[in-house]
Amino acid sequence: MSSISEKTAQDVERALARPSGRVTLEDFQALISPAAEPYLEQMAGLSHARTVERFGYTQQFYAPVYLSNVCSNVCTYCGFSATNQIPRKILNDQEISDELDAVKALGMDHVLFVTGEANLRVGVPYFKNAFKIARDRFSSISMEVQPMDQEAYEALIEAGLSAVLVYQETYNRETYAAHHLKGMKRDFDYRLETPDRLGRAGIKKIGLGALYGLDEWRVDTYYVAAHLRYMEQTYWKTKYSLSFPRIRPHEGEFEPKSVMTDRDLVQLICAYRLLSPEVDLSLSTREHEVFRDHAYKLGITTMSAGSKTNPGGYAVDAQTLEQFEISDERSPAEVAAMLRAGGYEVVWKDWDSTYDGFPGVGAVNRGQRIPAPV
């Protein structure tokens, strides 16, 4: 923390003067330091310009789909913690199908499957089956579930998996141990090495991040940045995305060690964009409407909308069993309209499963296939 808090205005100005793509980790420390706070408007301007240069005036949409909230971990901050007495649910085939139909009807073409950790009942066979159901409806399928072995990822990639999001929660071992009390998630190193297993498995995209507030948020953001840099150098064919889950004060019986304010979050979004012109930056419906309506121009490239964070939440009306409370409850169409009014186009589709050798979404007549090269 000391090296970040010791950064000066001069360090910040040096970082801001770097040409696009040449910002270092040292520069990043300056950009997320308190010394950068007076420069927020300038950072926002630069971040906006660099994002537009790389991504154009577009935002990608995705829909989280909770398949199961059964979880064998005990984590102090999570609604699905094993010790919480809530009704547990694992969606069956029909329920998955109904859920996906409801999501498809909202216009979505990219789903993010989310589950708790329950490897016996919700493991590779369960996911393979879920992908099979999803593949003829969605062009992209991502996952945010328990960390798995490399072989498991290879099997799922073969079955249609595009991206995996796995947040380290915090890179501070002691803090990590204090919040993960029981279950497989206690293993800090196994989780930390998950992105490497994903890279070796050849996944298209990996999502990194931390739960800001478990520890000093500035320190965790730096570790995420360092992790990103390491991954980019090592697995150079993989795309990356970053997300910004942050703990609100007074949530349940749990007080965060540090609080990331809205202003801090904007500073972080801009700092990541300056660090990496090409990383995807994702903003979920956890953030409130007003924030999202302004933040999307500051470096964000992908957003969820119309999210339901309970298993079966799209098909069934009841808002029960949620993992976290949603602050932006607007439908995808409403958020799309907001973006259009701001001069942005929504990208619903950014892949085609025919590229992976699957028959593809929709009614295209496949005709003669040419054999792939050996």
Partner 1 sequence: MNDEPLKIAGKTFESRLFVGTGKYASGAMMRDSLEASGSQLVTMAMRRVQVDGSEDNIIDYLSRERYHLLPNTSGVRDAKEAIFAAELGREALQTNWLKLEIHPDPKYLLPDPIETLKAAEELVKAGFIVLPYIHADPVLCKRLEEVGVAAVMPLGAPIGTNQGLATRRFLEIIIDQSKVPVIVDAGLGVPSHAAEAMELGADAVLVNTALATAGDPVRMSMAFRLAVQAGRIAYESGQGARQQQAVASSPLTAFLGE
Is 293 a residue that touches partner 1 (CB under 8 A)? no
56 secondary structure, DSSP code: -
Q: Which of 45, 125, 252, 357 binds partner 1 (CB under 8 A)?
A: 357
Give the DSSP letter string of 337-355: HHHHHTT-EEE-----GGG
Nearer to partner 1, 250 or 366 (CB): 366
Return the number of the residue (262 or 356) whose C-beta is nearest partner 1. Answer: 356
User: Cβ neighbours of residue 141 under 8 Å, at least 6 residues apart?
Assistant: 110, 111, 113, 131, 134, 135, 160, 161, 162
Maximum distance among all alpha carbons in the chain? 64
| Residue 18 makes contact with partner 1 by CB under 8 A | no
Secondary element (H or E) of residue 208 = strand 205-208
From 72-80, 125-133, 209-217, 344-352, span contacting partner 1 (CB under 8 A): 344-352
The yes or no reply on residue 230 touching partner 1 (CB under 8 A) is no
Q: Residue 53: CA atoms inside 13 Å, Cβ hemisphere, count? A: 13
The pair of three-digit structure tokens given for residue 28, joined into one six-digit string: 């990043």
Q: Does 341 bind partner 1 (CB under 8 A)?
A: no
Residue with tokens 């990608």: 60
- Interface with partner 1 includes 97 (CB under 8 A)? no
Q: Which span sits near partner 1 by CB under 8 A: 73-81, 86-94, 231-239, 249-257?
A: 231-239
Q: How far is the CB of 372 from partner 1 (least distance, A)?
A: 5
Three-state secondary structure readout of 115-155: ECCCCCCCCHHHHHHHHHHHHCCCCEEEEECCCCCHHHHHH
Residues 100-159 that bind partner 1 (CB under 8 A): 139
Interface with partner 1 by CB under 8 A: which range of 67-75, 175-183, 208-216, 364-372? Answer: 364-372
The residue (of 254 and 348) whose beta carbon lies closer to partner 1 is: 348
Cβ neighbourhood burial of 257 (10 Å; 0-12, 13-18, 19+) = middle
Residue with Cβ nearer partner 1 (127 or 344): 344
Nearest approach, Cβ of 344 to partner 1 (angstroms)?
6
Q: How far is the CB of 234 from partner 1 (least distance, A)?
A: 13
Instruction: Annotate each residue in 172-211 with x if it binds partner 1 (CB under 8 A) or - if it does not, as one string.
Output: --------------------------------x-------
Segment interacting with partner 1 (CB under 8 A) among 8-16, 23-31, 175-183, 346-354: 346-354
The distance of closest approach from Cβ of residue 298 to partner 1 in the complex, given in angstroms and rounded to an integer, is 16
Give the contact letters, 46-65, x = binds to partner 1 (CB under 8 A), - = no.
Answer: ------xxxxxxx-------
User: In this complex, which beta carbon is closest to partner 1, that of residue 184 or of residue 347?
Assistant: 347
**Nearest to partner 1 of 139, 323 (CB atom):** 139
Block residue for tokens 């929504």:
346
Cα–Cα distance measured from residue 347 to residue 108, given in angstroms and rounded to the nearest whole number? 10
Binding mask 267-286 for partner 1 (x = CB under 8 A): -----------x--------
| The only residue of 236, 274, 314, 334 in contact with partner 1, by rule CB under 8 A | 236
Please report how close the Cβ of residue 3 comes to partner 1 at its closest, in angstroms. Answer: 26
Question: CA 292, CA 342: separation in Å to the nearest integer?
Answer: 12
Is residue 263 within a helix (H) or strand (E), and if so which, with residue range?
helix 262-275
Q: What is the dihedral of CA 326, 223, 197, 300, to 10 degrees?
A: 40
Q: Which is nearer to partner 1, 104 or 132 (CB)?
A: 104
Work out whether the CA dihedral 308, 119, 193, 200 comes out positive or negative: negative
CA distance 176 to 251: 18
Q: Residue 22 interacts with partner 1 (CB under 8 A)?
A: no
CA-to-CA dists, residue 253 to 108, 129, 172, 313, angstroms: 35, 37, 22, 25
Which residues contact partner 1 (rule: CB under 8 A)?
A: 52-58, 139, 204, 232, 236-240, 278, 340, 343-345, 347-352, 354-357, 360-367, 369-370, 372-373
